[in-house]
Structure 1
Amino acid sequence: MSGGAPDPQTEERRPPGRRRLGLALLTVAALTGGGVAFTALATPEEPPAAHPGAEGPPPATAPVTRGDLTDSSQQDGMLGHLGERKINAGGPGGTLTWLAPSGSVVGRDGRLYEVDGEAVRLMYGSEPMYRTLKSGDKGTDVRQLEENLAALGYTGFDVDEEYTVKTAAAVKRWQESHDLKRTGTVGPDRIAFAGSAVRIKEPGSGSGTGSSGGDRVAPGDRIAPGSPVLTVTGSERVVTFRVPAAEAASAKTGTRVRVVLPEGARLPGKVTAVGRTATAGDDPQDRTPRIDVTVSFDDPAGVEGVDQSPVTVELAGETRRDVLSVPVNALLALPDGGFGVQVVENGAARDVRVELGMFAQGRVEVRGTGLREGMKVGVPS
């Protein structure tokens, strides 16, 4: 009869091991459905039980293996560049005559843009270039300038926070190397500071004459002081992704990862930044608070791929070393509530009680009396 309740007699004739296997898999699925590993599942304190010939040989077997088991997870990420920021026009303004092209990388002393034919160059530092520096000035911006001059080979002064006549002499040598008037003073009409080399993402949104609001500036536009000229990022390739706040511990700073690029390459890296504030995602169906995570590659120069390409981040979690494990689907749910595996030896099968440890990579750590590496355990065909 089809569509009705199961025949009790048929149900009783069904092999008991098959019922146990189905129950075990349902139980494991419930415990691991969220991708969360667990350890030291409680089992009765009675000695491990063995039941020779419980069901006869299973349809297929798999070996008990010994080795390391790592609880890993995968996250969807995005390939990009580190840190986006604006570079605004310094000096009195004028006509924009040149812009560094999008996608190019500008390093120390490189040209970012030109106004009225005069270049504004990049120097490294965290503090913006907000004033014209001259002899007698003091401050961290002075130290930044002197550090850059020294790195470029213009020496003969002490690198400190005081702009001296020796600093001015070095500035004059730098000006001469760029065919500029040798004034010994320098300001935001000649230098813009950023933390390191920058990658040009795109021109800034124009706010001067010749460009309407929201349009990108282009050579020929009039640039007002303080208006955005360029949008830049760091030159280093990175991956960003988001994890639920409850799982933030799986992506701590320093956590080793592998990034799977769109073409299939798997590159090593590590978590270098974790956000401190959790925010809801954009998906209206999932408002779980999430935290931003940044991954840097071990070899950034070797990373290829288009910006904003989707990637997969493989996070390595806890590792159990030198443990016995079996495929998850080898587990049996024993009649008294514990778990076991069906060991096959010399053509005979017996159920052996086990304690469960970590679930990872489709396997589960097991401990049980008499279990050893190389044993065969029953699995579904």
Structure 2
Amino acid sequence: MPDPRAGGARPLGRRRLWLALVTLLALTGGGVAVTALATPSKAPAGDTDTKGPPPATAPVTRGDLTDSSSRDGTLGHLGERKINAGGPGGTLTWLAPAGSVVERDERLYEVDGEAVRLMYGDEPMYRTLKAGDKGKDVRQLEENLAALGHTGFDVDEEYTDRTAAAVKRWQKSHDLKQTGTVGPDRIAFAGSAVRVKEAGPDAGAGGQGRIAPGDRLATGTPVLTVTGSERVVTFDVPAAEAATARTGTKVTVTLPDGTRLPGRVTAVGRTATAGDDPQDKTPKIDVTVSFDDPGEVKGVDQSPVTVELTGETRRDVLSVPVNALLALPDGGFGVQVVENGTTRDVRVELGMFARGRVEVSGDGLSAGAKVGVPS
């Protein structure tokens, strides 16, 4: 066994080092702190190296090091749901066009020339509401009436004569018969404004066609497929890496035209499922990103985008390119410092790996020093 003090033992080749790093990064996810890795009991500060200079050098830098990762995502809209016919049926005479945004009290579709309008709420419109009724759907209706300026009642879960009077004023504003009652033949609830994705499938055509004005509707017929009006990005991560995309994680989204916009993770799936790729059955979790400024988002629906997730940040640390690392004979890691035409191997402790660099610390290292790297 050669004696290191006699100069017979040299740092191991970078090929073996890369094998060690590949294993290390696979185990850690490629972006975590790995401090005091394989620190030996003896740690010489560094011996002068008599061999020639390395083919290239890179500087040791001091600054902030941020762990980030990129994912392929898809630009789309928030959520997707069906709007079903709620009335007794009839002939479809008008549909909100695909791509349009429908807001509170605007038309979704018409049956026999009579409009069904959107109101905001999570409870479905499943019955005709009248004085004496109680429930969450009553509160939803009253909240919408109040938002539209038809007031004069208490917003609660009880449909009173005052609620009926407000309904009559709403009906008058749309030239409807003023009955003071309202049902699913006039109103459909959704959580917010919706964007029309497409017309509903034609059940009579075996689901192969799309309904259109002139078609007959029955109660429960899917009329429209809608999404939320907010632009979002969706992507997936392997279940083992779910911690990299927690709710609230800041991201930067690169759109197809190169525009970079900030956002954050707003939803993370709770169930891991295998993807559609037959070559990759790794369980994955769906992640949704919302933009900080949705009005700045441009791009065709279902366009591919890149999502950069920002992780942990180490402040004011020294770092070197990962390929500057050398595997030392006794199991530690080092770098080859080039100074005044000579080289010396300096043992280092490793910290965070990020963007092709690694946090390092050790005696004899300072910002601006040159370290050897492959050409």
Question: Which residue does the alignment assign to 1:180?
Answer: 176
Counterpart pick for 1:312 among 303, 306, 310: 306
Counterpart pick for 2:283 among 289, 298, 308: 289
Question: Which residue does the alignment assign to 1:245?
Answer: 239
Question: Which residue does the alignment assign to 1:71?
Answer: 67
Aligned length: 365
Question: Which residue does the alignment assign to 1:122?
Answer: 118
5 Å matches for 1:345-360? 345-360=339-354
**1:325 Cα deviation after fit:** 0.3
Q: How far, CA to CA, are the matches of 2:216 and 2:13 in structure 1?
A: 78
Q: How far, CA to CA, are the matches of 2:339 and 2:147 in structure 1?
A: 72
Deviations 1:334-371 (A, max 9, x none): 22222111112222211111111111111111110121
1:158 matched to 2:145? The reply is no
Question: Which residue does the alignment assign to 1:55?
Answer: 51
Q: How far, CA to CA, are the matches of 2:280 and 2:50 in structure 1?
A: 46
Contact 2:11 2:329 in 1 (8 A): no
DSSP-derived class of the 2:18 partner: helix
Q: How far, CA to CA, are the matches of 1:172 and 1:87 in structure 2?
A: 25
Contact 2:348 2:360 in 1 (8 A): yes
**1:93 Cα deviation after fit:** 0.8
Counterpart pick for 2:142 among 123, 146, 156: 146
327 and 213 in structure 1: CA distance in 2 versus 1, 3 angstrom threshold: closer
Structure 2 length-normalised TM: 0.93
**1:59 Cα deviation after fit:** 2.4
**1:285 Cα deviation after fit:** 1.8
Question: Which residue does the alignment assign to 1:377?
Answer: 371
**1:134 Cα deviation after fit:** 0.9
Question: Which residue does the alignment assign to 2:18?
Answer: 25
Question: Which residue does the alignment assign to 2:164?
Answer: 168
Contact 1:357 1:365 in 2 (8 A): yes
Deviations 1:22-63 (A, max 9, x none): 432332233225752341122113234311134233222111
Deviations 1:127-153 (A, max 9, x none): 000111111111110100000011111
DSSP-derived class of the 2:19 partner: helix
Deviations 1:285-328 (A, max 9, x none): 22111111111111112111111111121112222221110011
Contact 1:113 1:120 in 2 (8 A): yes
Letter in 2 for 1:340: G
**1:201 Cα deviation after fit:** 0.4
260 and 239 in structure 1: CA distance in 2 versus 1, 3 angstrom threshold: same
**1:66 Cα deviation after fit:** 1.0
Contact 1:20 1:334 in 2 (8 A): no
Counterpart pick for 1:44 among 28, 40, 44: 40
Q: How far, CA to CA, are the matches of 2:337 and 2:370 in structure 1?
A: 6
Contact 2:13 2:326 in 1 (8 A): yes
5 Å matches for 1:96-115? 96-115=92-111
Letter in 2 for 1:203: A
Letter in 1 for 2:139: R
Deviations 1:64-121 (A, max 9, x none): 1111212211212111111110000111111100000000000000100000100000
DSSP-derived class of the 1:87 partner: strand
Counterpart pick for 1:342 among 325, 336, 349: 336
Letter in 2 for 1:24: L
**1:207 Cα deviation after fit:** 3.1
**RMSD of aligned Cα (Å):** 1.8
1:367 matched to 2:361? The reply is yes
**1:213 Cα deviation after fit:** 4.2
**1:215 Cα deviation after fit:** 1.6
Identity of counterpart residues, as a percentage? Answer: 78
Letter in 2 for 1:377: V
Gaps of 5+ in 2: 1-7
Contact 2:12 2:328 in 1 (8 A): no
Q: How far, CA to CA, are the matches of 1:114 and 1:307 in structure 2?
A: 27
Where has structure 1 moved over 4 Å in runs of 4 or more?
Answer: 15-19
Question: Which residue does the alignment assign to 1:276?
Answer: 270
1:200 matched to 2:193? The reply is no
Question: Which residue does the alignment assign to 2:317?
Answer: 323
